[in-house]
Amino acid sequence: MAVILDGKALSKKIRNSLKNEVKELKEKFGRPPSLAVVLVGNNPASEIYVRNKIKACSEVGIDSIDRRLPETVTQEELNSIVKELNEDPNVDGIIVQLPLPNGLSCREVVNYISPEKDVDGFHPVNVGKCTLGLYDQGLMPCTPAGVMKFFEEYNIPLQGKNAVMVGHSNIVGKPLANMLINANATVSVCHVYTKDLSHYTRYADVLCVATGVPGLIKADMVKEGAVVIDIGISRVNGKIVGDVDFEGVKEKVSAITPVPGGVGPMTITMLLYNTVKAFKMRNGI
Ligand SMILES: Nc1nc2c(c(=O)[nH]1)N[C@@H](CN(C=O)c1ccc(C(=O)N[C@@H](CCC(=O)O)C(=O)O)cc1)CN2
Ligand SMILES: [Mg+2]
């Protein structure tokens, strides 16, 4: 029987300890950590994620600033709002919810965020620190950092294991592949152009999948006893599903994340974690 890697339970545990830490920081510094969330336009999924982030902040005592901007905002206006937030001493973390509407460059605006307030870990300075394994010196991207927390919590060894990352996005695939390399796994990165995907996936002791293709990974594509991390989220007939055929694959593997309730909640938990970390780093602790 596979162990179901429970992102809700792990999130609860981390959020409880953050709540205590936030209380102490507030007593010591006179204000709690604060997160600014910038949302452009009205993508319904983004609105839900932003609402969940703000609610999660308030549950642990983190202040939040909700900046809603119309779809018609220009790149210059968006950049200058980020600049304002960079200069606001009472703001510790800044995120720009993705995806942005067509015509706005995500890379340009992310490059405007001060690296020390970049709690998504998307700025090139933080990407560099992630690649170098300098985790304590910067802010690491939330979803990959959340995945690494599963390995820690469930004592899943990585050293010398064959790890396969399916998906090479800047926000998940590339940083997670680097974190796995830093943990001394032997890492292969596959993506939409990979020929014979199952040649790689069948070889994986640890299989991480972040493609957004529902049900891409079937039972015959995974190794017996593997650990499977499903980072995909799609809506199929109103139901939220991952990239892995959970029902089939769970019979064969030693551990697997469900969707929903696996990696998703950890993304928001690590955002809270990074906001507290940014506050502490900005206050010299
Ligand atoms: N600026 C950012 N934009 C985006 C990020 C990000 O980390 N930073 N990641 C995704 C969306 N995302 C957070 O923003 C996110 C996605 C999913 C979940 C989550 O908890 N999923 C639940 C299911 C929730 C549902 O859809 O009902 C789960 O898997 O259990 C949290 C955060 C893209 N944009
Ligand atoms: Mg994410």
Q: How does pLDDT run across 141-195, given as a tens digit for each residue?
A: 999 999 999 999 999 999 999 999 999 999 999 999 999 999 999 999 999 999 9
- Residue matched to tokens 């199952």: 198
Residue nearest to atom 20 of ligand 1 (CA): 264
Q: How confident is the model at residue 254 (pLDDT cuts 50, 70, 90)?
A: very high
153 domain-assigned: yes
Same structural domain, 149 and 228: yes
- For ligand 1, the distance from its centroid to the CA atom of residue 143, given in whole angstroms, is 9
Same structural domain, 180 and 256: yes
Residue nearest to atom 29 of ligand 1 (CA): 264
Segment 88-142, tens digit of pLDDT: 999 999 999 999 999 999 999 999 999 999 999 999 999 999 999 999 999 999 9
Same structural domain, 87 and 174: no
204 domain-assigned: yes
pTM: 0.98
Residue-level pLDDT at 216: 98
Same structural domain, 79 and 152: no
Segment 39-65, tens digit of pLDDT: 999 999 999 999 999 999 999 999 999
53 tagged catalytic: yes
Strand arrangement of the beta sheet that strand 162-166 belongs to: 3-4, 255-256, 227-230, 206-209, 162-166, 186-190
14 domain-assigned: no
From the candidates 92, 118, 120, 243, which is the catalytic residue?
A: 120
Cα 164–165–168 angle (5° rounding)?
150
2 domain-assigned: no
Same structural domain, 99 and 150: no
Which of 77, 98, 115 terminates a domain? The answer is 115
Same structural domain, 148 and 258: yes
Closest CA to 78 of 56, 55, 94: 94
- Alpha carbon distance 71, 104 (integer Å): 9
Same structural domain, 108 and 146: no
Domains contained in the chain, number = 2
- For ligand 1, the distance from its centroid to the CA atom of residue 170, given in whole angstroms, is 15
9 domain-assigned: no
60 domain-assigned: yes
From the candidates 63, 97, 149, 245, which is the catalytic residue?
A: 97
* Rounded CA Rg of the chain: 19
- For ligand 2, the distance from its centroid to the CA atom of residue 30, given in whole angstroms, is 31
Q: Which CATH number does the domain housing residue 96 bear? A: 3.40.50.10860
Q: Which CATH number does the domain housing residue 211 bear? A: 3.40.50.720
Segment 74-92, tens digit of pLDDT: 999 999 999 999 999 999 9
Provide the residue range defining the domain that includes 160.
Answer: 142-264
Ligand 1 closest atom vs CA 97: 1
52 domain-assigned: yes
Same structural domain, 260 and 146: yes
260 domain-assigned: yes
- Alpha carbon distance 270, 148 (integer Å): 11
- Alpha carbon distance 224, 251 (integer Å): 9
Find the farthest-apart pair of alpha carbons in the chain and give their distance in angstroms, rounded: 57
- Are 208 and 174 a contacting pair, CB within 8 Å? no
Same structural domain, 200 and 247: yes
Beta strand 255-256 pairing with 227-230: parallel
SS3 211: coil
- Alpha carbon distance 82, 32 (integer Å): 21
